[in-house]
Amino acid sequence: MSSKEDINCFESMYRSGHTPWDTGRPDKNLKEYLASLVSPGAKVLEIGCGTGDNAIFMARTGLKVTATEIVPMALQKAVEKAKKKSVNVNFLLRDIMEKDISGRPFDMAFDRGCFHHFDSLQKRRKFAQRISYHLREEGSWLSLIGNADDTRPGKGPPRLKALEVVEAVEPFFEILFLKSSYFDSNQDPPPRCWVLLGKKRKGAPLKATP
């Protein structure tokens, strides 16, 4: 998928209201790990923030949050939610694959369901490299990723094998853990996910090679 195709695809899902990932609350996996990764005042970058619940949650814990999206409608909802809750998040309409995000280096990056939609090793590597570029040395990346061990029938989040995650991420990050879990979901049963925690490698490559 090219970025233009990504925008069109996600835009039509937001327009139709078919956004099963959008639970209206922060994901329990993020809640479980956040405090052990960064302290209040740290700079966090969220990629693919959707309608903003995770970004707003992180900002409420005292983090300085920059959150990006490629779909204007989703970002607008996120801005409105944050305003309503009087929470300060730097929301940006930006494609990290195309343009740098101001504010680097960040202490931590987070994505829920963004990395996993890239449909080739080359694109996933590029995404991992772009995350790494925006982090300080030894900065953390927490990612929630669809899991190929999910045997539920029908559609759901893209499902990656552990090896597909590792191949893309390892050149840029030490993998501290890759743990099988479940997305926080309104679906029953919830989709399985991987919880990836990476630490940016010293001297991580500045380019992604296929």
Residues that bind ligand SAM in the complex, under the rule CB under 6 A: 6, 10, 21-22, 47-50, 68-71, 74, 95-97, 112-114
CB of 71 to ligand SAM, least distance (A): 4
CB of 50 to ligand SAM, least distance (A): 3
Output 6 or 107, the one with its CB closest to ligand SAM: 6
Peptide bond into 40 cis (omega under 30): no
- Provide the pairing of β-strand 64-69 with 135-146: unpaired
Strands of the 90-93 sheet, one edge to the other: 90-93, 64-69, 43-47, 106-112, 135-146, 192-200, 173-182
Separation of alpha carbons 11 and 1, rounded Å? 14
CB of 69 to ligand SAM, least distance (A): 5
Residue type, 15: R
Contacts of 81 (CB under 8 A, 6+ apart): 51, 52, 53, 56
CB of 112 to ligand SAM, least distance (A): 4
